[in-house]
Structure 1
Amino acid sequence: MPAYTVREWDKLAYGEGKGQIAARHADRLAGLAAHSAFAGRGGSGVLEHGRHALRARGVVGILAAGDVSLEILPKIDVAPGETTDHQNAAIRKRLVHMLAVALDLKIDLGVITDLAWQRETLLEILIRIFCGKLTEALRKGMPRRYVIREEDLPTLRGQLDITRQFTGHAVNPSRLACRFDLLSEDTPLNRIMKAAVVCLARLSRRAANQQRLRELAFVYANITDVPVSALRWDQVVIDRTNRSWQELFAMTRLFLQDRYQTTTGGAGRGTAMLFEMNALFEEYVGRLIARALAGTGLTVSLQSGRLFCLSAQDSGRALFQTRPDILIRQGGTVTHVIDTKWKRISARIDDPKQGVSQADVYQMMAYAQLYRAPRLTLLYPHHPGLGAEDTVRTRYRITGHTTTLETASIDVSNSSQMLAKLRGLIIGETSPSLTTAKTFNQNAST
Structure 2
Amino acid sequence: MNKKKFIQVFEYQKLRYDDSGNFRKHHFDAMVKFNELHQNKYFTVIHNGIRFGSYVGVIQIGGLTIEILPKADNKEDADKNLWQNVLLNMLKVCKHIQVESVSETHLTKRYQSILDVYFELYLTEVERLVKKGLVKKYRKNQSNKNALKGKLLFAQNIQQNLVHKEHFFCEHMVYDRNHLLHQILLKGLLVLKTFISDSLQDRLNRVLFEFQEFENIKIQKQHFDRVIIDRKTHDYQKAFDIAKIIILNYSPSLKYGNENLLTLLFDMNTLWEEYIFRILQKHKKDEIEISFQNSDRFWENKRIRPDIILKTAHETFVIDTKWKIIGSNNPSDEDLKQMFVYNLHWKAEKSLLLYPKTNQTDSDFGNFHFDNLGKKCKLGFIDITDKTSIKNGKIVANEVLDKLIYESQID
Whether the TM-score (by the shorter chain) exceeds 0.5 is: yes
Answer yes or no: is the 8 Å Cα contact 2:60–2:66 preserved in 1.
yes
Residue 44 of structure 2 corresponds to residue 34 of structure 1 = no
Residue 89 of structure 2 corresponds to residue 97 of structure 1 = yes
* 1:344 pairs with one of 303, 313, 325: 325
Amino acid of the structure 2 residue aligned with 1:50: H
Q: Distance in 1 between matches of 2:34 and 2:268?
A: 15
Answer yes or no: is the 8 Å Cα contact 1:62–1:72 preserved in 2.
yes
- Percent identity of equivalent pairs: 19
Residue 291 of structure 2 corresponds to residue 280 of structure 1 = no
| Alpha carbons of structure 1 residues 280 and 110: separation in structure 2 relative to 1, 3 Å | closer
| Alpha carbons of structure 1 residues 239 and 47: separation in structure 2 relative to 1, 3 Å | same
Answer yes or no: is the 8 Å Cα contact 1:327–1:336 preserved in 2.
yes
Q: What's 2:47 paired with?
A: 50
Residue 256 of structure 2 corresponds to residue 266 of structure 1 = yes
* 1:324 pairs with one of 294, 297, 306: 306
Q: What's 2:6 paired with?
A: 3
Post-superposition Cα deviations, 1:305-358, rounded to whole Å, max 9, x if no partner, equal 2x23222xxxxxx2x223333344679x99333332221233x3xxx31xx333
Q: Distance in 2 between matches of 1:68 and 1:104?
A: 23
| Alpha carbons of structure 1 residues 193 and 278: separation in structure 2 relative to 1, 3 Å | farther
Q: What's 1:315 paired with?
A: none
Answer yes or no: is the 8 Å Cα contact 1:48–1:57 preserved in 2.
no
Q: Distance in 2 between matches of 1:45 and 1:175?
A: 54
Q: What's 1:60 paired with?
A: 56
Amino acid of the structure 2 residue aligned with 1:404: K
| Alpha carbons of structure 1 residues 11 and 147: separation in structure 2 relative to 1, 3 Å | same
Counting matched residue pairs gives 394
Post-superposition Cα deviations, 1:352-401, rounded to whole Å, max 9, x if no partner, equal 31xx3333333333333433333433222233x236xxxx5543332233
| Alpha carbons of structure 1 residues 425 and 277: separation in structure 2 relative to 1, 3 Å | closer
Answer yes or no: is the 8 Å Cα contact 1:36–1:263 preserved in 2.
no
Report how far residue 271 of structure 1 moved. Answer: 0.9
RCO greater where, 1 or 2, for CA within 8 Å and sep 6 or more? 2
Q: Distance in 1 between matches of 2:181 and 2:108?
A: 34
Q: What's 1:444 paired with?
A: none
| Alpha carbons of structure 1 residues 107 and 176: separation in structure 2 relative to 1, 3 Å | same
Q: What's 1:367 paired with?
A: 342
> SS of 2:33's equivalent?
coil
Q: Distance in 2 between matches of 1:281 and 1:237?
A: 32
Answer yes or no: is the 8 Å Cα contact 1:143–1:242 preserved in 2.
yes
Q: What's 1:309 paired with?
A: 298
Q: What's 1:441 paired with?
A: none
Q: What's 1:73 paired with?
A: 69
Q: What's 2:360 paired with?
A: 386
Residue 369 of structure 2 corresponds to residue 399 of structure 1 = yes
Q: Distance in 1 between matches of 2:241 and 2:170?
A: 37
> SS of 2:343's equivalent?
helix
Q: Distance in 2 between matches of 1:334 and 1:180?
A: 63
Q: Distance in 2 between matches of 1:28 and 1:304?
A: 44
Q: Distance in 1 between matches of 2:339 and 2:33?
A: 33
TM-score (norm 2): 0.76
Post-superposition Cα deviations, 1:193-251, rounded to whole Å, max 9, x if no partner, equal 222211122122x2122332222222222223232435511122234433333333332
* 1:335 pairs with one of 316, 321, 336: 316
Report how far residue 114 of structure 1 moved. Answer: 6.9
* 2:382 pairs with one of 410, 434, 438: 410
- Which segments of 5 or more consecutive residues in structure 2 lack a partner in the other structure? 159-163
Q: Distance in 2 between matches of 1:326 and 1:415?
A: 23
CA RMSD of superposed structures (Å): 4.4
Q: What's 1:442 paired with?
A: none
Answer yes or no: is the 8 Å Cα contact 1:101–1:284 preserved in 2.
yes
Answer yes or no: is the 8 Å Cα contact 2:157–2:168 preserved in 1.
no
| Alpha carbons of structure 1 residues 289 and 242: separation in structure 2 relative to 1, 3 Å | farther
Q: Distance in 2 between matches of 1:225 and 1:360?
A: 51
> SS of 2:34's equivalent?
coil
Q: Distance in 2 between matches of 1:394 and 1:244?
A: 51
Amino acid of the structure 2 residue aligned with 1:399: H
Answer yes or no: is the 8 Å Cα contact 1:29–1:64 preserved in 2.
no
